[in-house]
Amino acid sequence: MREGALTRTAEPAKRYIVRPGERVRLNRTNPNDTSGFNGVKDTGRKELEKLTARLAELQELLYAGHQHAVLIVLQGMDSAGKDGTIRRVFEGVNPQGVRVVSFKTPSVQELDHDFLWRVHEQLPARGEMVLFNRSHYEDVLITRVHRLITRAVWERRYREISEFERMLTEEGTTILKFFLHVGRGEQKRRLQERLDDPTKHWKFRETDVQERQRWNAYMKAYEEALTKTSTTWAPWYVVPSNKKWFRDLFVSERIVEALEGLRMRYPPLPPGLRGSTIG
């Protein structure tokens, strides 16, 4: 990755990656943190503009080369900024090679299969980048908090998810997983804003308030899920997300860094066409 883009947030990247076997304690991660930029929003936004342009270049290489697949997982509490991250970080990419998938309440047909069944058909093909706005992790989060499954089931699913992701990486998929860590006070402010601003009423759901009452249960579920499923092949990042600009910058840098690490090149012309001219 270009030195100028990486140096300022290299240390936070190391700080906020969940190392395999590390026990996660979300109350020890400051959701207001902007390490590497000392709270300078304008500097961060200028860097984000450069990264957005670079991501567009890399995404075109990914699509043209048709050799690699990229899966990006975004998880977080309501109003943590999953939609905003997708909108801001990926505003410059070619929609032909990018898809956003949101997993809602499972259908009757989906419930008749294993919990990963509905995920398979949504995975990225070679040359494609897919963003999961919520994901297969809902099946060890909301199902646990609402007691729809037992401890034995969610403990088994941690292992199944990790092995599922191992298989994907061995088949050539790069997986990037981000937990957008928003504080409880900031969530309250954002939800209230949705109530007060007529242009944001459509974002508000009655269940947002109900789920907020289960905050502690969700934090515990997230901590265990992050601990049990952060692996060498698909590690989690805990992203401080109270400051939207820093959240977007951090996510963008990690994606650009991963894509540059693939060392992609545009495919050459077939041998028979090299040196040809158009008459």
Identify whether 275 is part of a domain.
Answer: no
CATH assignment at residue 15: 3.40.50.300
Identify whether 215 is part of a domain.
Answer: yes
Angle among Cα 35, 39, 42 to the nearest 5 degrees reads 120
Identify whether 269 is part of a domain.
Answer: no
Task: Write down how long the chain is.
Answer: 279
Tell me what pLDDT residue 1 has. Answer: 42
Split at pLDDT 50, 70, 90, the class of 173 is: very high
Identify whether 105 is part of a domain.
Answer: yes
pTM of the model: 0.92
Identify whether 189 is part of a domain.
Answer: yes
Identify whether 254 is part of a domain.
Answer: yes
Q: CA quadruple 258, 34, 36, 229: dihedral positive or negative?
A: negative
Mean pLDDT, residues 130-134: 96
Q: What residues make up the domain containing 227?
A: 3-264
Rounded Cα gap, residues 134 and 88, in angstroms: 17
Identify whether 270 is part of a domain.
Answer: no
User: 148 Cβ partners below 8 Å, 6+ apart?
Assistant: 142
| Pairing of the two strands 236-240 and 129-133 | unpaired
Identify whether 277 is part of a domain.
Answer: no
* Number of domains forming the structure of the chain: 1
Split at pLDDT 50, 70, 90, the class of 238 is: very high
